[in-house]
Each structure stands twice: as structure tokens, then as C-alpha cells.
Structure 1
Amino acid sequence: MIQLLVMAKSPVPGRVKTRLCPPCAPEQAAAVAAAALADTLRVAGTVPGVRHTLVVDGDHPAPPGWARTPQRGGGLGERLANAYADCALPGAPALLIGMDTPQVTAGMLGEAADLLAAGEPVLGPAEDGGWWALGLPDPAAAAVLTTVPMSTEQTGKLTLAALRGRGVRPMLLNRLRDVDTAADAIEVAALCPPGHRFPAAVARHLPRAGVRA
């Protein structure tokens, strides 16, 4: 059994995607975030053979059939480490992703889960220097995340270094762009598969982007 954890914030105006403001109003940024979260949960929910858990800051409900765990801790590194610890099951590897890469596919997540099932740790690098996925055969190794500065251009490299210091050497997954700014949203919307909500949300709330739903 693989645990698939989605780390997310409830899409509340003024609390999510604040770097989209401007050009978005807080309500528009929250709508874009809600679409990204919905797409991420839908795709993650199609991955077979895993236990799905939403690790959430706020009161956003988990999809039917999912477990739900509240985030706890101060900084992001602490909350990430606690997510692994709070959801840990004996002998179960854990794959954690965020809500900022709605272009992720079930195939990408399935590949990561297969590698984990074979005992291989994985890391999905992000274009901004961070990471969008981290899979650990032993979730206890996530304790090193409390020592890693988050949301910097060096976060990915420092995460790798911290893990290697613990004897964990992840294989790298596809590099993805996560959504922080309006430019990110426009680029990611163009990469989303048909049927996703995110491109329509970007087209509606960033109308100057010229993105078609």
C-alpha cells in the first residue's frame, strides 16, 4: 500500500495565491486556487492501489473515499514533516504532492507510486527551484524537511542534500512548473489536459492572459 498525500490550503480569499494579486482580486485568486485543487484531487483520485489523504490547512472537505488530516506546525518545512508523520502507516511508503501543479497527470503519479513500491525514493523538481512531489519509502525520513529553507530557489537542492545526509537518494521525476504568479498560471493552464477546470478559471479571472477554456 502506498499513501498518496495531497498538501493543500482551503481556497479562502486573502489566504491563497496572494502572489496573483494583482492582477487578480483576492476572490479571483481563490477561484483559481480552487480550480487547481479540484483538478489535483481529481487526478490523484484516479491513481489505483493507493490510500488517498488530503492534508489540509482549513476546512476544505476531502473527496469521498479519502482520509483527511489537518496540517499542523509553524513553517512549511515543519508542516510537511508533520504531514508524513501524522499519516504514517507501518511499512507504507508515502508520496506527497501539492495543489500548485494542476497539469500533473495520473501517469506521472502512477510512475512515482510504482517506483516507491519498488523501494525507490522520488523527488519531483519544480522549475522555480523547489519541488512538487516527494516520495519516501520510510516516511520518517521527512523529518529532515524541518531543516530545509522553503520557498527559495535552492529548496530543491537543499532538500536533496538533507535527504542524502540521511542516506536517502531520490530518483528525479519530471520537472514541472508550479503556480505562484500570473505568468505561471498562464503557462500551466496551457499544459493542462482537456477537461481540467484550471484553464477555464485562468481564462475567466485573468482575462488579459488570452487563455482559452
Structure 2
Amino acid sequence: MTTDITVAVVAKECLPGRVKTRLTPALTPEGAARVAAASLADTLATVRALPAARRLLFFDGTVLPEGTEGFDVLHQTTGGLDERLGALFDAVDGPTLLVGMDTPQFSAADVGPVFDDPSRDAWFGPAEDGGFWSLYLREPDGAHLRGVPMSQEDTGAIQFARLTGAGLGVGTLGVLLDVDTVSDAERVAALAPDSEFAEALRTETVGSLR
């Protein structure tokens, strides 16, 4: 059954030297970009399978990736990540679920609680590194994100406190590992061995040993 939820994927164009830079020098910049593109492809495939009313790519780049058919495209604004995510939640109407491109193992089951209970004010998906991989707001408002320091060990805790401090009833999704380092990538590939991400990582890892 289709819901009235918009699912937005935050992504950037997978160019060498611009994405997954912490996978180098174990991988070449080109290899890291291919692994990032595979991660995004897996994410888009999962989102396409969700019972969403609208699918949105919140994109930083010029050339759209494959697999975005059926997605509306909103180009990211300038500024820090908190400002850009705030702009996204100001631009959308109605219940909105945000997911990133760095958790290719994410499945429909991981966001199942959102679709089972979309009347809850918010759903929060914490990441292992202290950030968050997903955020749902029944009534989108960028003020809930602006000013939250991003890419820190306490980003998730601060964001969660911002939501509850605003009086929102917040549900918690499962903790997922997002891919930053080679060790992260290997763990995620083991969790989703049949994914495009895992195949790309295997290919690039073998290539880097030649």
C-alpha cells in the first residue's frame, strides 16, 4: 500500500577525489568513486521498492546517477550539512523520510517502523559512529536541523536532543554502520554480500593488489 511519505536520498556525484576519500590509499580515488557509486545504486534500489508517494534525490552534482528514474531532483544549496538538510526539510511538504547514501546495507525492514507508524512526530536512525543515517519528520521543519554540528561523535545525540527538546515524540530505528573507512566498507560488504557495493569493493580491492 502506497503511503503519503516522501523518501529523500541525500547524495553527491561520485567523482574521484570527491567521495569516499578515506578509502584511499587502500583504493585509488577512481576505485573509491566506483564503490561510492555502487553504494548509492543499492540505496536507490531499496528506496524504489518502498511504498512511498514520492521519491526525491537531494543531489550535489551535475550528472545524475543511473537508477534515478521516478525520482524528483532537488539540487543541494550551499552551506554546511546542517544548513543543506534544513533547506531540504523546508522545501518538502508532508511526511518525509531522509536517508543517506553511505548505508548500502539498509533495507525496507530497517525503515519498516516509519511506514507502520507514520503518525509519529519523528523517527531517528542512529549510526554507529555517533551520527545518524535516517531521519523522518511528519511535519518537516528545517529548524530542527540547523545549528546541529555534523560529522562529530555526538552529532546523533545532539540531533536527537534537538527533536525531543522541541516536544516531538521520537521513535528510534536500528543502529546502522555507515561507510567511512576501509574497515567499515568490509563490514558492510559482509552484511550485504550480494549487493552492488560488495561486488564493487571486491573488484576494487583485488585491483588495488595487482
Q: Same fold (TM over 0.5)?
A: yes
Residue matched to 2:178: 178
- Correspondences of 1:6-25 after superposition (within 5 Å): 6-25=9-28
CA contact (8 A) 1:3 1:50 kept: yes
SS of match in other structure, 1:206: helix
Q: Distance in 2 between matches of 1:185 and 1:16?
A: 14
Amino acid of the structure 2 residue aligned with 1:49: A
Q: Distance in 2 between matches of 1:32 and 1:130?
A: 21
- Correspondences of 1:26-105 after superposition (within 5 Å): 26-61=29-64, 63-86=68-91, 88-89=92-93, 92-105=94-107
- Correspondences of 1:191-202 after superposition (within 5 Å): 191-192=191-192, 194=194, 196-202=195-201
State the Cα distance separating 1:113 from its structure 2 match: 2.7
Residue matched to 2:206: 207
Amino acid of the structure 2 residue aligned with 1:79: R
* Runs of 5+ consecutive residues of structure 1 not aligned to the other structure: none
Q: Distance in 2 between matches of 1:60 and 1:2?
A: 26
Amino acid of the structure 1 residue aligned with 2:200: A
SS of match in other structure, 1:175: coil
CA contact (8 A) 1:177 1:184 kept: yes
Give the alignment's Cα RMSD to 1 decimal. 1.8
Q: TM-score, normalised by structure 2?
A: 0.91
Q: Distance in 2 between matches of 1:105 and 1:35?
A: 15
Q: Distance in 2 between matches of 1:129 and 1:98?
A: 15
Change (3 A) 1:162 1:206: same
State the Cα distance separating 1:169 from its structure 2 match: 3.3
Q: Deviations over 1:91-127 (max 9, x none)?
A: x111000000000012223332332x22341000000
CA contact (8 A) 1:36 1:197 kept: yes
Q: TM-score, normalised by structure 1?
A: 0.90
Change (3 A) 1:134 1:13: same
Q: Distance in 1 between matches of 2:112 and 2:34?
A: 28
Q: Deviations over 1:111-167 (max 9, x none)?
A: 32332x223410000000000000011101x32312111011100000011112211
CA contact (8 A) 2:121 2:168 kept: no
Are 1:128 and 2:129 an aligned pair? yes
Q: Distance in 1 between matches of 2:137 and 2:143?
A: 11
- Number of residue pairs aligned between Structure 1 and Structure 2: 204
